Each structure stands twice: as C-alpha cells, then as structure tokens.
C-alpha cells in the first residue's frame, strides 16, 4: 500500500491538488483493478473520489470518513469534485464508493468547531425529512455534542439512512435529491463571500442557510413562524450561529449575495431554485420564489450583521466575535 498526504482545508479541493494526486497515482502505476482509499474529511473524500472517477476512466474507491460531516453526508451518495474560482463544487462527477466505513470513535479527535459544523448537516436531515429525528435531536443533541457514543451512533446512522433513502430514489439529482440541499443555496453564496475560508465552515453555513430557508418559507406564508423559531432555538441551544451576525468581517450587500447565488448548481435557465419548508420534516423544491422576497430576507439578515459589526468596532459588547 502507498499513501499520499494532502494539506487540510477547502483549498485542497482544487485543480492544483487534483493534478498532483492524479500524477502521483500514475507515477505509482495504479492500475484499474486497484482500490483507492479516501481517509479524511469531506475535502479528501470529494477530491479522492473525483481522482478515482477520472483515473484510467474510473477505478474503485472506498470512503473512510473521519469528520462528522463526512460520515453523515459527503461519503454517502457518490458526489465527487473540486471547487472552481467561480463557485463551489462546480467541477465533478458521480462516482459511488464501493464501501463506506464510518468509525464514530474517530470523531473524538475533531476540534469542537469541526464537530459542530458537521452537526449543521445532521440537523438538516431532521428538517428536511424526519420531524421525529429533529425531536430526538432537540432532546439528545447535547449528548451527541458531549461525546455520548450511543447518541453519536444514532445521529450518524439516522442521517445516513435519510440521505441514502433519498439518493436511492434519485441518484443523479433529477428531482428529490435536490432536497438534500436545504439551506445550501444561501450557504454556498456565504461561503463564496467569505472566500471559502475558516471565517465560515461549510456546516456552519448550512445551519445559517437552513434558518434563512425557513425564514423565507415563513415570509412566503408556506410554513409557520413557530417552526423557524424552533429551528433557531435548537441551533442556539447547541451554541451554533443562526445569523449572519455570527460571521466575522464584512459581507457583500444583498444584491451581491444574490449574484453569488446565481452560480448555484440548482440554477435552471437562469432561475434560482430553492428548497423551502412546509413544516419541520417536510420540504420541497421550487423555482417559484420572488427575487424581492429573497433580497428582503438577505437585506434584513445583513442589517443585523451590520449592527453587530458596528457595535463590535465601537467596542460595545456583542455576540459578534
Ligand atoms: N460529496 C458530497 O455529497 C458532499 C456533501 C457535503 C459536503 N461536501 C464537501 O465536504 C467538505 C467539507 O467536509 P468536512 O467538513 O469534513 O471538511 P474537511 O475535510 O476540511 O475536514 C475538516 C477539518 O477536520 C480535520 N479532520 C478530519 N477528520 C479529523 C479527525 N478525525 N480528527 C481531527 N481532525 C480531523 C481535517 O483535516 C480538516 O482540518 C466541503 O468541501 C463540502 O463541499 C461534499
Ligand atoms: Zn452540505
């Protein structure tokens, strides 16, 4: 067995490291019958999976996800790829791993911030497909965060079941698979606006994006405001950011964020598609969202962000760090 170690961080999901990985594999004379193993978080899983997909027109690979996010999300479903300067995950393909091995013991070595970023995706599953699971998280989320192994195993298992169920119905995202992108249209714009840096981790953006998706749904009269409040309350109870004010530094204005959203892979004929909620546990895909409603949600969220920023700059106490 031979191994290549790649740097940690989203910047590794790039042409540069894809080229380096593929050329290293060729130098090592990896053949079509060999198996690649992606051992790491979602960055490694996505990059290695893509390298496996294109090397010699496709070789087999195994995912051994080591972050919570990778165990509940990126290692399942076969999406692989890298980022482009124009946006996240814009280059890639579907390539299913032949096996996924998730050892929940390794989650103990994650930094608390990385662990909680993964929890953003776990909450997403409750919100998009299983209110009973969301109820369970409200009760047991603290135990999951504290390291209770039985709770962690249940959270990972239920998340994977929900994701795998949807992917089995729609592997190549012709329909229902898009539901898994709840919160992601907002999240991807925020990640682009913060330069894919540690100002905002993917799962942190997903949590904020889910709140914004519920806010938008409530504003359009599709779901009750109480549901939005419940989502926000649970994330706050887990000490997760729910608002743009939790993102350090300045952000572009609402129109610039809308322009970043237009790079989203869910755009069809220039029309943005959103995953909106009818209630916790039930979401749907729609392109029937007035642009002004989205701009309004963003402008309001940015107004709060601006207030937090100015009180921080003037030395006043605020939650903005
Ligand atoms: N393919 C998909 O379907 C899919 C789905 C969701 C997210 N993603 C992608 O996944 C990526 C995010 O994944 P991530 O959150 O795992 O990020 P990551 O891979 O950057 O890992 C986060 C950090 O944790 C470290 N790490 C990983 N496992 C560890 C462990 N056991 N102990 C200590 N440190 C550990 C990593 O080195 C890194 O610093 C994004 O690029 C996102 O686009 C892909
Ligand atoms: Zn995600």
Is residue 315 pLDDT above 50, yes or no?
A: no
Atom 20 (ligand 1) nearest CA: 9
Q: Which residues are catalytic?
A: 57, 79, 121, 163, 173, 177, 181, 184, 188, 202
Distance CA 94, CA 96 (A): 7
Give tens-digit pLDDT for 164-178. Answer: 999 999 998 888 999
Closest approach atom of ligand 1 to CA 81 = 1
The alpha carbons of the chain give a radius of gyration, in whole angstroms, of: 19
Q: What integer pLDDT is reported at residue 270 of this predicted model? A: 67
Show contacts of 1-4: CB within 8 Å, 24+ apart.
2/28
Closest approach atom of ligand 1 to CA 12 = 20
Q: Average pLDDT, stretch 99-107?
A: 98
Domains of the chain, by residue range, sit at: 10-105, 111-313
Q: Average pLDDT, stretch 229-238?
A: 98
Atom 38 (ligand 1) nearest CA: 8
Q: What integer pLDDT is reported at residue 288 of this predicted model? A: 87
**Could you tell me the CA-to-CA distances from 127 to 32, 88, 98, 253, 282 in Å, in that order?**
41, 23, 29, 28, 7
Report the separation in Å between the CA atom of 6 and the middle of ligand 2, taken as the mean of its atom positions.
21
Atom 13 (ligand 1) nearest CA: 42
Atom 11 (ligand 1) nearest CA: 42
Distance CA 73, CA 203 (A): 10
The answer to whether the beta carbons of residues 59 and 32 sit under 8 Å apart is yes
Structure tokens at 147: 């390291």
Report the separation in Å between the CA atom of 71 and the middle of ligand 1, taken as the mean of its atom positions.
9
Closest approach atom of ligand 1 to CA 65 = 28
Q: What integer pLDDT is reported at residue 320 of this predicted model? A: 28
Q: What integer pLDDT is reported at residue 263 of this predicted model? A: 73
Distance CA 162, CA 154 (A): 12
Q: What integer pLDDT is reported at residue 254 of this predicted model? A: 96
The answer to whether the beta carbons of residues 25 and 51 sit under 8 Å apart is yes
Structure tokens at 34: 């060999």
Q: Average pLDDT, stretch 262-281?
A: 82
Closest approach atom of ligand 1 to CA 109 = 32
Report the separation in Å between the CA atom of 1 and the middle of ligand 2, taken as the mean of its atom positions.
31
Give tens-digit pLDDT for 60-99. Answer: 999 999 999 999 999 999 999 999 887 788 899 999 999 9
Q: What integer pLDDT is reported at residue 117 of this predicted model? A: 97
Is residue 118 pLDDT above 50, yes or no?
A: yes
Q: Which residues contact 201 (CB under 8 A, 6 or more apart)?
A: 113, 114, 117
Q: What integer pLDDT is reported at residue 307 of this predicted model? A: 62
> For the ranges 61-75, 153-167, 187-201, 272-286, which has the lowest average pLDDT?
187-201
User: Residue 31 in 3-state DSSP?
Assistant: coil
Return the best residue to mutate from 50, 73, 74, 83 for the ligand 1 pocket (most ligand atoms within 8 A of CB): 74
The answer to whether the beta carbons of residues 147 and 254 sit under 8 Å apart is no
Q: Which helix (H) or strand (E) holds 166?
A: helix 149-169
Which residues line the pocket of ligand 1, CB cutoff 6 A? 8-10, 13, 40-44, 46, 66-67, 69-70, 73-74, 77, 79, 88-89, 106, 109-110, 114, 117, 202-203
Distance CA 257, CA 271 (A): 15
Atom 7 (ligand 1) nearest CA: 74
**Fold for the domain defined by 10-105:** Rossmann fold (3.40.50)
Q: Average pLDDT, stretch 25-35?
A: 96
Q: What integer pLDDT is reported at residue 317 of this predicted model? A: 36
Mean pLDDT of the chain: 92
CATH number for 111-313 (one of 1.10.3370.10, 1.10.10.10, 2.60.40.1180, 1.20.1090.10): it is: 1.20.1090.10
Predicted confidence band of residue 321 (pLDDT cuts 50, 70, 90): very low
Report the separation in Å between the CA atom of 67 and the middle of ligand 2, taken as the mean of its atom positions.
13
Predicted confidence band of residue 195 (pLDDT cuts 50, 70, 90): confident
Atom 41 (ligand 1) nearest CA: 43
Distance CA 72, CA 157 (A): 8
Report the separation in Å between the CA atom of 76 and the middle of ligand 1, taken as the mean of its atom positions.
13
Structure tokens at 281: 């546990």
> For the ranges 194-198, 267-271, 290-294, 310-314, which has the lowest average pLDDT?
310-314
Q: What integer pLDDT is reported at residue 197 of this predicted model? A: 86
**Which ligand is in closest contact with the Cα of 207?**
2
Report the separation in Å between the CA atom of 184 and the middle of ligand 2, taken as the mean of its atom positions.
7
**For the whole prediction, is pTM greater than 0.75?**
yes
């Amino acid at each position: 067995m031979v191994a290549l170690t790649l740097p940690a961080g989203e910047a590794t999901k790039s042409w540069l490291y894809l080229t380096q990985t593929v050329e290293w594999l060729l130098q090592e004379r990896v053949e079509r019958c060999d198996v690649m193993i992606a051992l790491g978080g979602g960055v490694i899983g996505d990059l290695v999976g893509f390298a496996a997909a294109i090397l010699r027109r496709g070789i087999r690979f195994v995912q051994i996800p080591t972050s919570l996010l990778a165990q509940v999300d990126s290692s399942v479903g076969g999406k692989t790829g890298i980022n482009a300067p124009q946006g996240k995950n814009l280059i890639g393909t579907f390539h299913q791993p032949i096996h996924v091995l998730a050892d929940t013991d390794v989650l103990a070595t994650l930094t608390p911030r990385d662990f909680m970023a993964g929890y953003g995706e776990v909450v997403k599953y409750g919100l998009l497909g299983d209110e009973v699971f969301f109820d369970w998280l409200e009760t047991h989320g603290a135990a999951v965060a504290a390291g209770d192994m039985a709770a962690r195993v249940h959270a990972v298992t239920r998340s994977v079941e929900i994701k795998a169920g949807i992917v089995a119905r729609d592997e190549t995202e012709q329909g229902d698979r898009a539901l898994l992108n709840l919160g992601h249209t907002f999240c991807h714009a925020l990640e682009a606006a913060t330069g894919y840096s540690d100002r905002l981790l993917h799962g942190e953006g997903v949590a904020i994006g889910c709140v914004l998706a519920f806010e938008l749904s409530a504003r359009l009269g599709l779901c009750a405001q109480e549901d939005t409040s419940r989502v926000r309350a649970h994330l706050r109870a887990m000490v997760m950011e729910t608002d743009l004010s939790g993102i350090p530094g300045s952000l572009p204005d609402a129109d610039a964020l809308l322009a970043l959203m237009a790079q989203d892979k869910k755009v069809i004929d220039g029309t943005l598609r959103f995953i909106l909620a009818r209630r916790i546990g039930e979401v749907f895909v729609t392109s029937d969202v007035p642009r002004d409603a989205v701009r309004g949600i963003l402008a309001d969220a940015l107004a709060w962000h601006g207030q937090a920023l100015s009180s921080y700059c003037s030395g006043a106490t605020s939650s903005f760090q």
